[in-house]
Every structure is written in C-alpha cells, then in structure tokens.
C-alpha cells in the first residue's frame, strides 16, 4: 500500500482494508489535533489509489471491509466518489462494507440523494467528530461548526439510514467548563441520534495550539477523577429515544465503559460510581494512548 504520513483509522476498523484516498485533513484547524499539523491536505492521484486496490485484490481477500482514509474523503466530488466506490465493488467484490471519516461541512455538501447513491454503492458507516455540544468550546477549539450544523449533518446521514458513529472528547473544555460541556454534549448527541457514541479522553499533544495553551497555564486538563465525573455527567444527562451503543473503551480512557442505551444506562452509571469510590481500578497513565 502507498501510505503517506500518519494513517489514522477508528479502532473498529482494525481489520479493514485501509485505502488512503486523501492525505491529511481538509479542515486541519482544530486546536487539539496534532495528527496532520505538518501535512498539506491533498487528494491522491487515481493511479496510486488504483495500485492500492490492485494490492488489496492480491493480498486482502480475507478482509471484508474497506476504510477510506485520511481525515475527510467525503469532501471529494460526487462523481469521483462514485467512480471510486464502483471500482471497489468491481475489483474487490467480497467487500461488504465501506466506511470513512466525515466532518459536518463535507456531509452537508452532499444532498440526501447523493448520500443514498453512495449507500447503494457500499457506504455503510460514517465516523463524525462532534467533540463537544457546547458552542463556546467548539469556537475555542476551532472546530469549524456550531451545534446546529453538527445536528443537521447527523440528521442528513441518519435520513438515509447510514450508520453514524459520533466521537466526543472528555476534558476538551478544561476543568472550568467540564460540567457545562458534558450537559451540552449530551443534549446535542440526543438531537443527533447516532447509532454509536464514542467518548475518548483528551490527551494533549505538545505540537498543537491547545498544547501550547496548557504549557502557558491557560488550559487546565481535568485529572482522572474529574474526567470520570465528566463522563458520568454526560451519561446521566444523555436521553436517547432510539437504541444507541455508548463506548468509552478507547485506550485513552481511564475506565472502560461499553453499554447499550437506554437499556444499560443505570448499570454504566453504577460502574462509574464504583470507580469514583475507588472500588474499581482505573487504567494507569503508562497504558493510556491515543
């Protein structure tokens, strides 16, 4: 495979064929993200992508899924996406699912009919980063979208019944804004109605604007107990109408939570309470990772 730079994929795509179609992120302005800070966003040449599809045809016949990297493949034109999806279907007929990252701008650049067209060609799952439902936090981290835009994008995905996984970041509001961030995020998530919610814990990277703010004492990262309290607040206020998988089991998290909402909410809250009371061990710092 012709990979360039850091190729990042969701944990659930660990066994997928990772097909890098773009390099970097089309937005690349979030203050907390250092993944693509030294990379200029670019769309890879079709001939290079074709070579990777040929490689997958030869060596990846046991892998039934494709994940399109990097940060925002959906920003491509509809014609180019259709051609790519058709090529995957033709050359890799055993693949039964295609997934990708997408931000709200890219999603809203597509009509429901266009998303439906991609779904028919194999698009099964979209991973979207909300990070926070608090408008002040979204402005502070330069996310490039407000809560209303996030909700509209999510509803467009769900309108055509594409699986939507939404990521939020514990700790992104710092100590001062933790409670407000948790409650606002719960409200926005309820309005988005995703199939899956992934709560990651912020690990500040030194090569980011947020990292420099932390070094200057302008941003105070919540400690492990404060992170758990924020997680509890988020989960407590999260009211979903449709079943949703809630996961806080990423390597960054201090406590692994994996539950089905609304069914398992009370049990998950009890598990968090047990951890806060010291009756359940937390993941040690040296085992946490991005």
Q: Which pLDDT does position 35 carry in this prediction?
A: 87
Q: Which pLDDT does position 37 carry in this prediction?
A: 81
Q: Which pLDDT does position 38 carry in this prediction?
A: 81
Which pTM does this prediction carry? 0.95
Q: Which pLDDT does position 264 carry in this prediction?
A: 97
Q: Which domains can be identified in the chain, with CATH numbers? A: 11-287 (3.20.20.70)
Cβ distance 129 to 145 under 8 Å?
A: no
Q: Hey, what's the torsion of the CAs at 159, 165, 169, 173, to 10 degrees?
A: 0
For residue 150, name the pLDDT band (cuts at 50, 70, 90).
very high
Cα 126 to Cα 154: distance, rounded to the nearest angstrom = 10
**Partners of 98 in beta bridges:** 66, 123
Q: Which pLDDT does position 192 carry in this prediction?
A: 98
Using the predicted structure, report yes or no on whether residue 162 has a pLDDT greater than 90.
yes
- Span 246-285, pLDDT tens digits: 999 999 999 999 999 999 999 999 999 999 999 999 999 9
């Amino acid at each position: 495979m012709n990979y360039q730079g850091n190729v990042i994929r969701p944990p659930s795509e660990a066994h997928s064929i990772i097909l890098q179609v773009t390099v970097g992120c089309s937005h690349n302005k979030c203050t907390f993200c250092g993944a693509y800070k030294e990379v200029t966003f670019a769309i890879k040449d079709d001939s290079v992508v074709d070579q990777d599809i040929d490689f997958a045809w030869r060596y990846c016949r046991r892998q039934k899924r494709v994940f399109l990297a990097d940060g925002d493949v959906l920003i491509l034109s509809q014609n180019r996406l259709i051609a790519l999806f058709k090529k995957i279907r033709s050359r890799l007929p055993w693949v039964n699912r295609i997934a990708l990252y997408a931000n709200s701008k890219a999603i809203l650049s597509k009509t429901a009919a266009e998303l439906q067209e991609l779904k028919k060609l194999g698009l099964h799952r979209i991973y979207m980063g909300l990070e926070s439902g608090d408008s002040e936090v979204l402005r502070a981290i330069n996310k490039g979208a407000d809560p209303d835009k996030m909700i509209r994008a999510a509803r467009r995905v769900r309108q055509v019944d594409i699986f939507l996984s939404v990521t939020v970041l514990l700790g992104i509001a710092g100590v001062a804004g933790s409670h407000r961030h948790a409650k606002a995020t719960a409200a926005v998530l309820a309005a988005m109605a995703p199939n899956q919610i992934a709560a990651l814990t912020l690990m500040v990277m030194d090569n980011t604007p947020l990292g420099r703010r932390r070094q200057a004492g302008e941003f105070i990262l919540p400690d492990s107990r404060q992170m758990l309290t924020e997680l509890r607040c988020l989960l407590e206020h999260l009211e979903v109408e449709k079943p949703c998988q809630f996961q806080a089991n990423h390597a960054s998290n201090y406590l692994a939570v994996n539950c089905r909402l609304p069914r398992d909410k009370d049990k998950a809250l009890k598990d968090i309470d047990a951890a806060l009371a010291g009756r359940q061990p937390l993941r040690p710092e040296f085992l946490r990772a991005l």
